Amino acid sequence: MRKDMLTTVNGLEFNYVHHGVGPTLVLLHAFPLNYRMWEPQITGLNDMCHVLALDMRGFGASEATDGDFTIENLADDLHALMQHLGHERFVLGGSSMGGYVAMAYAERYPEDLMGLALIATRATADTPEKREERLKTAASVSAFTPATLAKTMAPTMFAPEYSKERPNGLLSAVRAWISGTPPLTIAGAQRAMANRPDRTQVLAGFQEPVLVIAGEQDQIMPPDAADQMVEVLPYATLVRVPNAGHLPNMEQPEIVNQALRQFMKQFTPKPAAHTPSRQT
Ligand code: MLT
């Protein structure tokens, strides 16, 4: 039975869910969303892997913070949670900002990881212009409401032809998640992303398999970001998802789940070979 769990590590209460059997796949959400973006993976992969998805600090139902945190702090939170839960090695997946955290994790705790799944993300740091824009947004946190951000940002997260409301309610779900994110968390995450370093060399040195997934119509992440990561990664598989924007796991869950299934299969322990007992 799956239910939300609350656990305190690093002095903060974290909300997470875990479901399924098999090798563990941990999923980190995009900005400024929460673990619910992974619903299609939590319910669609549990027959072959143990999916664990959490709300990072200040997001979703995890404890709110003063907004003073870094991408590295988010990686340390996950490390503390996985230690607390007694998990050994796992595959770490991250979407966009979740991908930035996954790469920071790979730099700090490579021994924990059997592989990475990097979705709609990039290894490079912000351009000076982007950095400035983020810091400006963070500084004007009292002047905007998450609802305003939700209105402008949510449609850009989907492939253009899907950015209008669809019967499955994805757009309104994303809008509601953004609206529910505390302004201090939004400002803190913008500063954290602005200050993150280039992690291309971390990927170049990463010795485990990596699945890279990109939405073909992503309006937020430049299309060459996935190619740049694949170019430096020693062991990479690239999957481009048609008719998907910045949230391919929600827009085209069957394609993304199929790619994740294929990727996770290699970590499934092989059944022990049957040794016939000797007749005496
Ligand atoms: C995200 O989806 O996590 C953000 O758009 C990433 C970013 O702003 O770089």
Secondary structure percentages of the chain, helix, strand, coil, to 5:
45, 15, 40
- Return phi, psi of residue 32, to 5°: -105, 65
Residue located nearest, by CA, to atom 4 of ligand 1: 31
Report CA(112)–ligand 1 centroid distance (Å): 25
Residue 40 DSSP symbol: H
pLDDT at 271 over 80: no
Query: 3-class DSSP state for residue 237?
Result: strand
Which of the listed residues 100, 220, 250 should we mutate to test ligand 1's pocket, taking the one with most ligand atoms within 8 A of CB? 220
Q: How confident is the model at residue 280 (pLDDT cuts 50, 70, 90)?
A: very low
Report CA(55)–ligand 1 centroid distance (Å): 15
Report the pocket of ligand 1 as residue ranges, CB < 6 Å. Answer: 30-31, 96-97, 193, 220, 246
Report CA(32)–ligand 1 centroid distance (Å): 8
pLDDT in tens, 8-66: 999 999 999 999 999 999 999 999 999 999 999 999 999 999 999 999 999 999 999 99
Task: Give the pLDDT of residue 278.
Answer: 56
Nearest to 175 by CA among 15, 55, 34, 3: 34
pLDDT in tens, 68-114: 999 999 999 999 999 999 988 999 999 999 999 999 999 999 999 99
Q: Which ligand 1 atom is at minimum distance from the Cα of 96?
A: 3
Average pLDDT over residues 121-137: 96
Contact (CB, 8 A) for 257 and 41: yes
Task: Give the pLDDT of residue 143.
Answer: 73
pLDDT in tens, 157-178: 999 876 565 656 889 999 999 9
Average pLDDT over residues 139-159: 86
Residue predicted with more confidence, 256 or 274: 256
Average pLDDT over residues 107-130: 98
Nearest to 240 by CA among 211, 219, 208, 204: 211
Task: Give the pLDDT of residue 277.
Answer: 59
Per-residue burial over 58-72, b if 16 or more Cβ lie within 10 Å, else e, is bbbbbeebebebebb
pLDDT at 279 over 70: no
pLDDT at 6 over 80: yes
Residue located nearest, by CA, to atom 5 of ligand 1: 31
Q: Which ligand 1 atom is at minimum distance from the Cα of 193?
A: 9
Share of the chain above pLDDT 70, in %: 95
